[in-house]
Amino acid sequence: MRSLRPESVMTSLSLSRNKSQTSSSIILRGANDIYVDEMDRSIHDSLCAVKRVIESKAVVPGGGCVEAALSIYLENFATSLGSREQLAIAEFAQAMLVIPKTLVVNAAKDSTDLVAKLRAFHNASQTIEAKRAFKWIGLDLENGKCRDNKEARSTGTSYEQD
């Protein structure tokens, strides 16, 4: 059995708010370097998401909402073109559905059923004026259904470019 050195299972991140405040540390402990490295990456990703929201002052509905809406919009746009660009745009529209499908599969739910329902909501929101509010519909993976993610406060970070 290999003995682990304390420095191999601990790492810390320093956070500074501004010059008048002190910094904080997050101490991570794990069984081996692999666990600690994974925790470090997860915390880094989380802090980057928080930083992105603070800087852009914008969030989008989560649960595959944006990706499904964009997929429907691009498919409709692609049918209006008469060139080879139509195929590329249609393929990109299909690629956008990878995110909601992956979310559903990772939650051990039926991806075909849930993604089809999600697409139906977003198609209705883009084609029927009375159903514009459906644009906020995303996946509720705890209950295995679609819901209004704006109302449920389920968000993701904005895709706005810097």
pLDDT tens across 76-116, in order?
999 998 888 999 999 999 999 999 999 999 999 988 999 99
Q: Whole-angstrom Cα distance, residue 139 to residue 116? A: 11
Half-sphere exposure of 155 (CA within 13 A, CB side): 14
Adjacent-strand bridge partners of 15: 24
Rounded mean pLDDT, 111-132: 92
- pLDDT for the residue 126: 92
Element (H, E) at 139: strand 137-140
Q: Are 140 and 109 in contact (CB under 8 A)?
A: no
- pLDDT for the residue 2: 42
Mean per-residue pLDDT of the chain: 82
Q: Which of 72, 150, 159 is nearest to 115 (CA)?
A: 72
pLDDT band at 129 (very low <50, low <70, confident <90, very high): very high
- pLDDT for the residue 162: 42
Half-sphere exposure of 42 (CA within 13 A, CB side): 8
- pLDDT for the residue 157: 55
In tens, the pLDDT along 17-37 reads 666 666 677 888 888 889 989
Half-sphere exposure of 151 (CA within 13 A, CB side): 11
- pLDDT for the residue 152: 79
Q: Are 28 and 17 in contact (CB under 8 A)?
A: no
- pLDDT for the residue 30: 85
DSSP conformational letter for 84: T
- pLDDT for the residue 50: 85
